Amino acid sequence: MYTVLARKYRSQTFDDVIGQDAISQTLKNAIKTDRVAHAYLFTGTRGIGKTTMARVLAKSLNCLAVGAPTAQPCCKCDGCIAINAGDDIDVIEIDGATNNGVEQVRELRQNAIYRPARSRFKIYIIDEVHMLTVPAFNALLKILEEPPSHVKFIFATTEPNKVIPTIQSRCQRFDFSNITPGKIAEQLRSILKQEKIKFEDDLILSLAKMANGSMRDALSLLDRLISTGIEPLSASMLEEFLGCPNSEKIWNLIGRIADSDAAGTLAAIGDLVSGGVSEVQLVDSLIEYMRDLMVVKSAGLDSELLVLTDEQRKMAGELAEKFDVAALVYNITALEKLRWTIKNSDTPRALLEASLLRFALSEHFLNIDQLLSSLQACPRTNLPGNSSSAPVKKKEPSTIVQKDRFTKAQSCSEQITDDKQQTAGHGPQTTNSEHQASPVRRSFSEGGSIENQEKAQPSPNHLKTSNQRRNDIVNDPAVRTVLIGLDATITRIEEYQ
């Protein structure tokens, strides 16, 4: 009978448990110094070794090959073999999800008083202990605080916040960490070599990252690929058999965003979605890949935080040069918010396309601070939006304009008028220049609801309206830039002499 890889290669000793070295060392020292507690609470996400560690601890306490608890169980005696299979009469494994009532806990308390049949300790391993009801937890309190000397409790849970504090205070708690992709990849290589299955190195790294810190998930995915019967195992199989986005297509999409190619961005999205990649999968992949670019920009291509092949590192280095850190940070946070939105949307593709187009065209969205600094520091010919402006890196898209910044924007437009007056003062004094130097009264309306007018009141004898002057102001690039940034319109222009 075939045994899945997750069971076949389950760790047998403390030294074999992957990625939990600190916990393994602590438990080994507790056994060596005879300081084993009567209750333990193992917490952490799925597939990282909680139940495996509980079985290893049980074997260490009840190994029949030695006369006392040992940090190195033999794994060959009847006791160790039975514990590995979950059939030992003195090591009782209980599923907390189905045995979560008061009656089951009462039965446990009644049986706990009896000594073990052949081992040194009677050990209760309760998996998913957070599923116990509050009355069941309360029924467990007394025996958990003062158990018989021959009884040990080991609890495992993925949600420690649901375990009541009175239970936690009676246990020694160990928090299991996620396993790093590097350690998962190393274990996968070892298993494939033992199974004598050919593989490509690109597959191992991609598979290790897909596991999200869970060794069991990684082995389950590997089992699915092995079941195809295709050798050598390659990275292209992840897309074909597991439905994962193609890495080259993801890099292509990010490249189109970096190049501000709106049409190319939409085409790249369509290529991925039409290939069977869901919008949520695509967002997850973009978060992961942009995170790699952020690490490259912040820590360099040689950082240990990157789990990439040589070819992928080269691609990441080239694309990272087209972004800045601020833009990547913004993109990642925006994508994370988008991920939860599109899950509940009836039009996820439209939301995805709109968001990625915002990234691609981000330099067209200027906030007020950028606008003011550009107006003050640059000549008129280099104003934002001018075709002669130098190319810029992908910057963070603007935030929503605050209404209290309207006055600043208006003062900016006043500065533009002052500049025109100074320019006119240096040239020949003509009727037109005198006309341009005259004060102008402007009324703006933001969003069609806010009107802000200058306080100066013109003399009735000098008030007039000029269509030519109105056109000059409306078509002025600086004024248009201010209006676009404020989402405002010109409602009235009055001049007086």
pLDDT digits (tens, 9 = 90+) for 154-202: 999 999 999 999 999 999 999 999 999 889 999 999 999 999 999 988 8
Decide: 368 and 408 in contact? Cβ < 8 Å.
yes
Cα-Cα-Cα-Cα dihedral sign, residues 214, 216, 222, 228 = negative
pLDDT greater than 80 at residue 17:
yes
For CATH 1.20.272.10, the residue range(s) in the chain are 247-360
Could you please state the CATH topology (level 3) that the domain comprising 247-360 is classified under. Zinc Finger, Delta Prime; domain 3 (1.20.272)
Helices 279-299 and 348-360, interaxial angle, to 10°?
A: 20
For CATH 3.40.50.300, the residue range(s) in the chain are 5-175
Could you say which DSSP state residue 120 is in? S
* CA end-to-end distance (rounded Å), the chain: 100
- Which residue shows structure tokens 């290939």? 275
pLDDT interval class at 373 (50, 70, 90): low
How many Cα atoms are found within 13 Å in the side-chain-facing hemisphere of 294? 15
For CATH 1.10.8.60, the residue range(s) in the chain are 181-242
Residue range 316-338: average pLDDT?
A: 91
Q: What percent of the chain has pLDDT over 70?
A: 74
Q: How far is CA 443 from CA 129, 214, 242, 411, 497, in A?
A: 68, 62, 60, 13, 18
User: Could you tell me the pTM of the whole model?
Assistant: 0.69
Task: Give the DSSP per-residue string, 22-81.
Answer: HHHHHHHHHHHTT---SEEEEE-STTSSHHHHHHHHHHHHH-TTSSS--SS--S-SHHHH
Higher per-residue pLDDT: 362 or 315: 315
Rg (CA), the chain: 34
Each residue of 333-350: pLDDT tens digit? Answer: 999 999 989 988 899 999
Q: Decide which of 3.40.50.300, 3.40.50.1110, 3.10.580.10, 1.10.8.60 is the CATH code for 181-242.
A: 1.10.8.60
Could you please state the CATH topology (level 3) that the domain comprising 5-175 is classified under. Rossmann fold (3.40.50)
Confidence (pLDDT) at 449: 42
